[in-house]
A = this chain, B = another copy of it.
Amino acid sequence: MIDETHDSSARSFLETDDRSDFPIQNLPLGVFRRRDEIGHGHIATRIGDQIFDLSAARRTGLLADADGAIADACGETGLNRLMSLGRAASRSLRRTIFQLVKAGSAHEEAVRRCLFPVDEAEMLLPAQIGDYTDFYASVNHATNVGSMFRPDNPLLPNYKWVPIGYHGRASSIIVSGTPVRRPFGQTKDEKAAGPEFGPTKRLDFELEVGAFIGKENALGTTIAIDEAEEHLFGLCLVNDWSARDIQAWEYQPLGPFLAKNFATTISPWIVTADALEPFRSPAASRAEGDPQPLPYLAAADGRGFDLALEVWIRTSRMREAGLAAARLSSTDFQKMYWTFAQMIAHHASNGCNLRSGDLIASGTVSGEKREERGSLLELAWRGSEPVELPNGEIRRFLEDGDEIILQGRCSREGFAPIGFGECRGRIANDS
């Protein structure tokens, strides 16, 4: 639903740079803590470089116009309760915040007392993530990876029928900025008699988009495809770090495990589904001859998100030389084969309960072209086409000290562009 909060002419009394990811039309939600503070976090939104502390806003009566349950949820230490209230509640909170921070707001002075500069804040995980599910919704990614491992049969017969997904690890989801240690694990050379145990030699990133579940369904109940977006609270960026050599040796027959669960980085600000309303794309792309989705996956209004995504790298040598990060990949989320609505409806189709705060990731987002590939495995084609960085460095896989930065941005004629901020992680040098 497009409303006054999406009006491109709207301005906040807080100045924002024209290129900021966080104009008044965004109003993402996250959880922060003052750097000088010990203890739990506070729910907040962000305008430009200012954090607007919603727990402080609640305490000072600024959320008095909002429903009591919504205001109370803003006083929690994570977004789970607010998520559980459903889309109408998050839309209502969005409108309340918009009125508070817009130019000419009667509450400017009171709002200013709840502000905090982003530089002095530590961002925390936005919610307690009960379960994390990773899908595999890019047909280009599935085809790329499949053609490396099964040249004759790159795409498995179930791919265009089943939104393939698997369970990830919730405990090792970390927020942007947290260092990542190079994992140890078993790997096996094709020629070796047995495996060896040591640090991965094939560390990779995966560019993904994550969806947080809002309203939950009870165990044993399903979610109809046309109701699925009622359960979609908002999106973030996800880097699903992967150890390709560990993965190759361990993944049969039950799927990836230690190759993935050492770390998954997410961006701290959840861009709500409401903020993304102007940036919907047509249904996920289908090619001629692709099967019609089965009825439980066929939406009357099956839309994706038109979200431009980029991956940047900054190596130790680049940092030492004062060089800026270099772009590795640039793609678009609307090229996915399955939409989040389909992933949600599929996930609950057997009665599995999705809880508020659960995270569903899209799987690696890759386009058709080389520069649109969302992992180094694909960009350097399993090491056979090394990537050359602007400073002459070569990458087949990630090296210690490499920092990967994911970015996402939505823009459309007639609307103010909004963005996701960064999802950043550096491979620790001590590993």
Interface residues of A (CB under 8 A from B): 130-131, 136, 146, 156, 158, 161-162, 164-172, 174, 181, 183-186, 188, 194-197, 219-220, 222, 243, 246, 249-258, 261-263, 291, 294-296, 346-347, 349-355, 358
Contact = CB atoms under 8 A, between A and B. Distances in A.
A171 B355 CA distance: 7
Contacts of A263: 219, 351
15 contacts: A131-B170, A131-B171, A156-B253, A158-B249, A164-B254, A165-B254, A166-B257, A171-B219, A181-B220, A181-B351, A184-B350, A194-B291, A251-B255, A258-B350, A261-B352
Given A195-B294, A254-B136, A294-B186, A350 B262 contact: yes
Contact of A296 (B162, B197, B252, B254): B197
A385 to B, nearest CB: 23
A183 B351 contact: yes
Contacts of A296: 197
Nearest to A149: B253
Given A172-B219, A246-B350, A255 B258 contact: no
A373 to B, nearest CB: 18
Contacts of A253: 146, 156, 164, 251, 255
B250 A185 contact: no
Nearest to A248: B158
Of residues A130, A166, A197, A291, which shows the largest number of chain B Cβ atoms within 10 Å of its Cβ? Answer: A166
A258 B135 CA distance: 12
A349 B184 contact: yes
B171 A168 contact: no
Contacts of A181: 220, 351
Contact of A130 (B167, B170, B196, B257): B170
Contacts of A222: 184
Contacts of A172: 219, 351-353
